[in-house]
Structure 1
Amino acid sequence: MKTFFTLCLSLSTLGASAQNADSVTIRMMYNEALGKGKAYEWLRYLTKQVGPRLSGSANGQKAVDWAKQVMEKEGFDRVFLQEVMVPHWVRGAKEEAYFTVGKQKTTVPILALGGSVATPPRGIEAGVIEVTSFPQLRAIDPAQVKGKIVFFNRPMDPTKINTFEAYGGAVDQRANGVNEAAKLGAVGVIVRSMTNVRDDNPHTGGLRYATGVPLIPGAAISTNGADRLSEALRQNPALTFFFKQNCETLPDAKSYNVIGELRGTEKPDEIIVVGGHLDSWDVAEGAHDDGTGCVQSMEVLRLFKALGIKPNRTIRAVLFANEENGLRGGVAYADMAKTKNEKHIAAIESDAGGFTPRGFGIVGTSAQREKVTPWKPLLAPYGLTDIGAGSGGADIGPLAQSGTVLFGFKPDSQRYFDYHHTTVDRFEAVSQRELELGAASMAALTYLLDRY
C-alpha cells in the first residue's frame, strides 16, 4: 500500500503547493457531485419525460429543447444550437419472427437493424444458412445462398476482459452482414445480438448498405432466440424462417448539437470539450447510451460554476446529434471548429455507460500522453487508475484531424452490453452514485487539462 509520503513524492513534479491545491480542488468537485449533484435528476427527466430520441424524431427535438433550457437555467456563459441535418429512419409496426419445423412454429424476438429496409408487406419466409464469419459465407456456393436468409451467429468472445474489445470482434456482422449476404443472392439477414447475456432482449444497432449492392432487410435476434434457431437448424437443416418488419427511411430532418460553455479568463480562444450524444435508439430510454454521458458533461460545467472555479480556457459541454446512425453531429462540430479556426486543445467523451469510473483512454502522441503522467497520483484515489493509450470516442474523433488530444472516459465495461441498444436501457439501470462519480472524474480531468 502506498503511504502518504510515497504519494507526495510521486506528485513532486507538480510542486508541493500546486499538488496540494489541486488535490483540494478535486476533492471539492467530488464532494459537490456526490452531495449536491444534479446529473441523476437530469437523467431521470431525459429518460422518463423525453424518452427514446432517435435522430429526426419528435422526441429528438424535445431532447434538444430540454438540454438547451437546462444549460440556460444553470447560467452558463453561452448556450447555443448548431444545426445538423440528420437521417430520419422509423421502425414502424412491431416486428414478427418465427421458424417452422413441420407444422410447429417457434416465435423468436427480433428487432430491425437501424437503417434497414422493410421486408415485403407479407414478410419473408425462406430457408436459412447459418455462418459465423464472412470468409465462411464466401466459401459457400452462391447457388446455395440464393433465395435464403443468412443467419450470422458469431457470439461476442466471453474471454475478453474488456467487453468493448469483444464487441469490436463481433459487430462487423451487424454493420456489413447485409452486404456480404446480398452479394450472394440472399433475401434477408438475421444477426445474433451483440451481448454475452443469454436473454430474450434483441439488440438493435446500425447497418451500412454498400453502393451497388442489392438492399435486403436485416434484423437482430436475441441470444436465446439465436441459440434456439441454431439448435433447430442442427436437427432440421431444411427448416424455414419467417420475419416481417415495417421500417422506412424518410428525408433527412433538421436537428442540432446543443452546446454550453464557460468562457476562459486567460486563454478563451483555447477550448476543452466534454461531451456525449443526445440521440438514442428508438426502442429504449437511452439511459446508459448515452443519457449518462450527456448529463455528466453538463454536470462538469455546473461543478466549475458551483465551486466558483474560473477556468483559464473555455470549457464546452457538447451534446452531439446523430451518433447512433450517422455521426453527423460530431462531423459537423469538427467542421465548424475548422471553419472558425478554433483551437481545441483537448476533448473528453463519455459514451461507455454510467458505471464505476476506471480511467481514461488517450488518443495522442506519446509526448502528449506523458504530460498526463504527473496527474495520475491525483486521480488514483478516486479509482482512476486505467489511464493511457486507448480510444477517445466516436463524436470527438473528427477533432483529432486538427491535433486535438482525445480522452475517452472509461467506466467499468462488464455490464454495458447487457443494456446496449435494447428496451432495458432504462433509467432504473443506472446507479446514482456511479453516475455522479463519473461526472466528478470528468470534471477533475477537465480541471487539470485547463490548469496545465
Structure 2
Amino acid sequence: MKTLHLSLLIVILTFSVKGVSQSKTQDSTIIRSLYNTALTEGKGYYWLDHLSNEIGGRLSGSVEAEMAVKFTEEKLKELGLDKVWLQPVMVPKWTRGFKEYAYIQTGGDQKKVTDICALGGSVPTPSLGIKAEVVEVQGIEELASLGKEKLSGKIVFFNRPMDPTEIQTFVAYSEAADQRYAGAKEAAKYGAVGVLVRSLNLRMDDYPHTGSMSYGDLPANMQIPAAAISTNGANYLSSLLKLQPDLQFYYKMNCKTWDDVQSYNVIGEITGSTYPDEYIVVGGHLDSWDLADGAQDDGAGVVQSMEVLNLFKKIGYKPKHTIRAVLFMNEENGLRGGKKYAEEAKRKGEKHRFAIESDAGGFSPRGFSIDASDANFKKVQSWEPLFKPYLIHLFERGYSGADINPLKGNIDVLAGLMPDSQRYFDYHHAATDTFDAVNKRELELGAATMASLIYLFDTHGTK
C-alpha cells in the first residue's frame, strides 16, 4: 500500500512539474508575440503624432482636450473592441491668457528680461503687473522664521532645487514639489504679494515648468499670483540677490479660472470570456499642460494604453477578464477623471482585479512599482524571469499612479510602469514636452511591457 501511495505521489508531482513547465513556455511564447507585434505593427507612435502635432496641448476644459476625446474615441472604435464609451466628468477650466512677461531691475533703468510661466490655478497679477523686492527662501518652513516683518509686500522666491544626487528622480521631484503646490498659500499668510518658484527640473535651461498649485481654503482677497522661473533664471536671480538684495522683480500674468465644464474619460474594453464582470484596467491621462503638446506627459501613456488592446486584438488573445483602457481626463489640475472612474466602479459594484498606469513618460521601460499584498507581490516577483529577456529588472513595492490610486480598497493589485526616468523632468510640464522627444521604439517597448503584465494577471489571476 505504501508503495502504491508513493507511486501515485510521484505521478502527481511529475504531471504538476510538467504542467508548470508548459505554462511557463506558453507565457514566454505569448509575451514574445506581444513584443514582436508592438515593434512591427504598433499604432501608438502614429496616434501620438496626431495627438501632439495635430491637436497639441490638452489642458482640461480646452477645445484641444475635447478634440482629443473625439480622436481617441474614434481610434478605439476602429480597433473593433466590444465596447467604447465616454464617461462624463465635470472638470476645472483655467486659461493662461497672453504670454507672461517678467524682468529683473537691478538699478535705474537696467532691466533683464527673464523666463517665467504662471502656475496652473494661479490668479492673475493686477493689470499693470507687480513690481516688488524679492526674498529668497529654500522652502516653506523658512517663512515662519522670517515673519511678516520681512515678507510683507515682497515677492517670495522659492529656490530649493530638485536633489541632483537622488538617482530616483521622482523622489527628488516629490521632495521639492511642496513649494510649487502650496508656496503661494503659505507666503500669502505673511503678506507677500507674489511668489516665484524654481522650476522642478534637473537640467539647467531657460524653460520654466508649470504645474498645479493650490490656495487651499485661503480667501480670494488673500490669493497672490504664482509663477515658475526657469532653472537658469533662478540661478541668475539668486546670484544677483547676493550682490543687490534690494533689486526689484516685475511680472505680469493674464490667467483666469472659469466655471467647471463638461468633459469625459474615454473608455474601451474587450469583454472577458470567463469573468466578464471582473475588470483589469490600463490607463494614462488624456489632458496635458498647455505650454507644449504633452507628448511625454501623458500622451505616451494614453497611446500605450490604447496599444495594449490593439496588441491583444492583433495576436488573437481572448482575455478571461474584461480588459479596459481608460483615458482619464484632468489628472494635471484636479484628478477629476480618476476619482470619477473609481466612484462609478464602486457605485456599480464592479469588481476590479488589477490596474496599471503609464504616467512617467515614453522612455525605455525598466519595470513596475507594485501596490499589493505580500502574496500578490511575490506572484509578480515570480514572473521576473519572463521579463528578463526584455531588460525589465525592477519589481518594487511602491506607488502606482494618480489616476488609478482612487481604486485602492476596491482592487487587488495596482501597478505603475517604471520607465527610465533620468530625462523625464527635462520635459515635464515645460515647452520642451514635444513629440520629437519621444523615441518610437522605447514607446513600443513600454506598451508591450504593460500588455505582458496584464496578460499574466489575466491568465493566472490574483491572490
TM-score by length of 1: 0.96
- Assess if the C-alpha contact under 8 Å between 2:185 and 2:218 holds in 1: no
Match of 1:16 in 2: 21
Say yes or no: does 1:75 pair with 2:80: yes
Using the TM superposition, give the Cα deviation of residue 77 of structure 1 relative to its aligned residue in structure 2, in angstroms. 0.8
Report the equivalent of 1:410: 418
- Which of residues 89, 110, 133 is equivalent to 1:84? 89
2:227 aligns with one of 192, 195, 219: 219
Q: Does 1:158 align with 2:164?
A: yes
Matched, 1:385 2:387: no
Query: Are 2:369 and 2:398, in contact at CA under 8 Å, matched by a contact in 1?
Result: yes
One-letter amino acid matched to 1:173: Q
Change (3 A) 1:450 1:165: same
The equivalent of 2:118 in structure 1 is 112
Query: Shift of residue 373 of structure 1?
Result: 2.1
2: distance between equivalents of 1:14 and 1:217?
Answer: 64
Partners of 1:373 and 1:94 in 2: how far apart? 49
Report the Cα offset of residue 212 of structure 1: 3.1
Deviating above 6 A after TM superposition, structure 1's stretches of 4 or more consecutive aligned residues are none
1:124 correspondence with 2:130: yes
Which one is further off, 146-155 or 208-217?
A: 208-217
Question: Matched residues in 2 for 1:38 and 1:445: separation?
Answer: 20
Q: How many residues align?
A: 442
1:272 correspondence with 2:280: yes
- Select which of 234, 238, 242 maps to 1:230: 238
2:131·2:251 contact (CA, 8 Å) conserved in 1?
Answer: yes
Match of 1:50 in 2: 55
Question: In 2, are the aligned partners of 1:97 and 1:244 still within 8 Å (CA)?
Answer: yes
Contact 1:131–1:151, Cα closer than 8 Å, also in 2? yes
Whether the aligned pair in 2 keeps the contact of 1:357 and 1:441 (CA below 8 Å) is yes
Q: Is the 8 A contact 2:367 2:394 kept in 1?
A: yes
- Residue 5 of structure 1 aligns with which residue? none
> CA shift at 1:387, angstroms?
0.7
- Aligned pair 1:187/2:193, yes or no? yes
Task: Please tell me whether Structure 1 or Structure 2 has the larger radius of gyration of its CA atoms.
Answer: 2
State the partner residue of 1:134: 140
Matches within 5 A, 1:225-304: 225-304=233-312
Identical pairs, percent: 56
Aligned-pair CA distance for 1:14 = 7.5
Alignment gaps of 5+ in structure 2:
1-16
Contact 1:359–1:386 (8 Å) recurs in 2: yes
1:369 to 356, 374, 377: 377
| Structure 1 residue identity aligned to 2:187 | A
List alignment gaps of at least 5 residues for structure 1.
1-11
CA distance in 1, matches of 2:75, 2:101: 40
1:299-321 superposed Cα distances (whole Å, 9 cap, x missing partner): 00000001000000000000000
In structure 2, the residue corresponding to 1:195 is in which secondary structure? coil
Distance change in 2, residues 1:194/1:133 (3 Å): same
**Mapped partners of 2:216, 2:381: distance in 1:** 43
Query: CA contact under 8 A between 1:14 and 1:374: conserved in structure 2?
Result: no
Specify which of 355, 358, 378 is matched with residue 350 of structure 1: 358
Alpha-carbon distance between aligned partners in 2 of 1:388 and 1:165, rounded to the nearest angstrom: 14
Task: Please say if 1:308 is aligned against 2:316.
Answer: yes
Cα distance in 1 between the residues matched to 2:133 and 2:18:
67
Residues in 2 aligned to 1:139 and 1:31: alpha-carbon distance in whole angstroms = 59
CA offsets 1:390-420 (integer angstroms, 9 cap, x no match) = 1100000000121341100000010000000
Paired with 1:63 and 1:303, the residues of 2 have a C-alpha distance of 22
Calculate the aligned-residue CA RMSD, in Å. 1.2
Residue 94 of structure 1: SS of its match in structure 2? coil
Q: 1:196 aligns to what?
A: 202
| Superposed CA offset, 1:360-392 (max 9, x none) | 000112122112122111012111110120110
Q: Which residue pairs with 1:207 in the alignment?
A: 213
* Mapped contact 1:13–1:374 kept (Cα < 8 A): no
> Is contact 1:55–1:279 with CA below 8 Å preserved after alignment?
yes
TM-score, length of structure 2 as denominator length: 0.94
Q: Which amino acid aligns with 1:166?
A: A
Deviates more, 1:371-380 or 1:192-201: 371-380
- Cα distance in 2 for partners of 1:67, 1:404 equals 28
| Distance in 2 (alpha carbons) for counterparts of 1:368 and 1:30 | 24
Q: How far does residue 447 in structure 1 lie from its aligned partner after superposition?
A: 0.3
Q: Does 1:66 align with 2:74?
A: no
Given the alignment, which residue of 317, 323, 339 partners 2:347?
A: 339
